[in-house]
Amino acid sequence: MTSELFTALPLRSGQVLRNRIAKAAMEENMAGDGQLPDRRLPTLYRRWAAGGAGLLITGNVMVHAEALTGPGGVVLDEHAPLEPFAAWAEAGKSAGGAIWMQINHPGRQVPSGMPGVVWGPSDIAVDLGRHSGRFGRPTAMTPRQIEDTVARFAVTARRAEEAGFDGVEVHAAHGYLLSQFLSPLVNTRTDRWGGSLENRARLLLDVVRAVRAAVSPAFAVAVKLNSADFQRGGFDADDARRVIAMLEPLGVDLVELSGGSYESPAMAGRPADDRTTAREAYFLHLAEELVGTSPLPLMLTGGITRRATAERVLDSGVAVVGMGTALAVTPDLPDRWRDDREADRRMAPVTWSDMTLASAAGMAQVRHQMRRLARGAAPRPGTHPALALLSEQRKQRAALRGYRAWLSGDRRGGNFPEPARSGGDLIVLTHDTAAERRRGGK
């Protein structure tokens, strides 16, 4: 009997996913010259496409050239040439699956060594204790900046469709800008974007409306949303339920559930309650709370490595199973599951006492695997985390030099602010990889 994992999923846009397995977003930080995809990203995604997943979701593509999560970030705005993105899209679709571009704005989560802008709903900085200086100090966004940001998301979505992508995923999780507006702990505004959940969700809803209006009806629009922030007084499962209901009338095809933020114990491997303690599918209990009332199909990402776990997720009513690190280590895992085989290796957790550095090292290990795949090599999950972290820091320093030169060049007219302070070595922490390293399951 065919597993439900390998049944098709029709979406409201008319798009049909060929199975229920998705490669979830992991930020690659592999931009080439001009913050554009070069040959590495098409090579990487062709490898994943051949592995059997029904859907590939890219690592986040930035909508604002002056606001990046790291210097190796890809930017798609009104100035970017489409040819490199078209090659990326073609590679992702090369084996018959779909590819969606995740689109994002970091808000306050910009490394302090970066040029450009650091914005947030309020001027509240990321609190990581002694590591807090690794992020820039944000300024509260003006109404004009908020409106311009909505327009940027729409431009990126329209151009993604022009390049051949099948859809976009609007990133509203993991403490990035749209998630910051949703959080009552970060968003302390008293205007129309703050206060009630309806006001705090206004930016996300306006972005989704603008994106849907900018693309064709057959183009998929998804949203990545935290099931909870795992912070006392923060965005919780009931808030998620209400936001999903707000998204339903706007033409959204799918909502991906994840959880946590940099400040959250759940993101750093310290569970805030017993609902986050499972080694695999660690947001499943929260998803089960939401699936019964959700008017939209849900995708669950976080810690899934075995077919039995994936099938348990689908049995709960979730429509799509998302995986990240597991596919960085075993890119053909969906085809293995179809043949009743499992992965023959997994990545060991980083158990350093400093959770921030452990998270950075874990993410560096994952990027090391992606870089190997991108140059046609086999994964090597046994790479020591300290070596992976040092290698990543060297690559990020080189990328930062290129980003500074690009940002100050003729393309933008120059004169962008330098960072107000340095956080030492640039350690790029991005949640789309961190979410997959939690709990040590991979």
Question: Mean pLDDT over all residues of the chain?
Answer: 87
Distances (CA, A) of 291 to 204, 273, 279, 315, 367: 21, 20, 21, 11, 32
Least-confidence region, from 249-258, 268-277, 362-371: 268-277
Beta bridge partners of 222: 169, 254
Q: How confident is the model at residue 293 (pLDDT cuts 50, 70, 90)?
A: very high
Residue type, position 263, single letter: E
pLDDT higher than threshold 50 for residue 141: yes
Q: What is the pLDDT of residue 272?
A: 42
Instruction: Assess whether pLDDT exceeds 80 at residue 440.
Output: no
Mean pLDDT, residues 198-227: 96
- pLDDT (tens digit per residue) in 150-196: 999 999 999 999 999 999 999 999 889 999 999 999 999 999 999 99
Of 158, 54, 49, 31, nearest to 101 by C-alpha is 158
Answer yes or no: are the C-beta atoms of 300 and 287 closer than 8 Å. Answer: yes
Where is average pLDDT lowest: 179-188, 329-338, 357-366, 419-428? 419-428
Q: What is the CATH number of the domain that holds 183?
A: 3.20.20.70
- Please compute the mean of the pLDDT values over residues 140-155 and round it to a whole number: 98
The pLDDT value given to residue 261: 57
Alpha carbon distance 370, 368 (integer Å): 5
Total number of domains in the chain: 1
- Report pLDDT for 271: 42
DSSP state of 101: E
Q: Residue 23, CB half-sphere, CA atoms under 13 Å: how many?
A: 38
pLDDT band at 88 (very low <50, low <70, confident <90, very high): very high
- Indicate the length of the chain as a whole number: 442
Average confidence (pLDDT) over 72-101: 98
CA gap 284, 312 in Å, rounded: 9
Does the pLDDT of residue 438 top 80, yes or no?
Answer: no
**Between the ranges 16-25, 298-307, 409-418, where is the mean pLDDT highest?**
16-25
Please state, in angstroms and rounded to a whole number, the distance separating the CA atoms of residues 37 and 91. Answer: 12
What is the mean pLDDT of the segment spanning 212-241?
A: 85
DSSP 142: P
Model confidence pLDDT, tens digit, residues 44-57: 999 999 999 999 99
Q: What is the pLDDT of residue 28?
A: 96
| Averaged pLDDT, 229-238 | 68
**pLDDT computed for residue 437 by the predictor:** 39
Query: Is the per-residue pLDDT at 1 higher than 60?
Result: no
Q: Report the percentage of the chain scoring pLDDT > 90.
A: 73
Higher pLDDT, 432 or 246: 246
Question: Rounded to the nearest 5°, which phi and psi values hold at 152?
Answer: -65, -45
3-state secondary structure of 106: coil
User: What is the extent of the structural domain holding 179?
Assistant: 4-440
What is the rounded average pLDDT of the residues 226-243? 76
Average pLDDT over residues 60-84: 97
* Residue 255 tokens, joined: 């909502």
pLDDT at 231: 55
Could you read off the pLDDT of 17-41 as tens digits, one per residue? Answer: 999 999 999 999 999 999 999 999 9
User: Using one digit for the tens of pLDDT, what is the confidence trace for 379-412?
Assistant: 999 999 999 999 999 999 999 999 999 999 866 4
Residue 423 has pLDDT above 80, yes or no: no
Question: What pLDDT is stored for residue 133 in this prediction?
Answer: 79
List Cα–Cα distances, 98 to 44, 410, 420, in angstroms. 15, 36, 42
Looking at residue 261, its amino acid is S
| Distance linking the first and last C-alpha atoms of the chain | 29
Give dist(CA 180, CA 169) in Å, integer: 17
pLDDT-derived band at 285 (thresholds 50, 70, 90) equals: confident
Q: Quickly state the pLDDT bin for 280 (edges 50, 70, 90).
A: low
Residue 332 confidence (pLDDT): 98
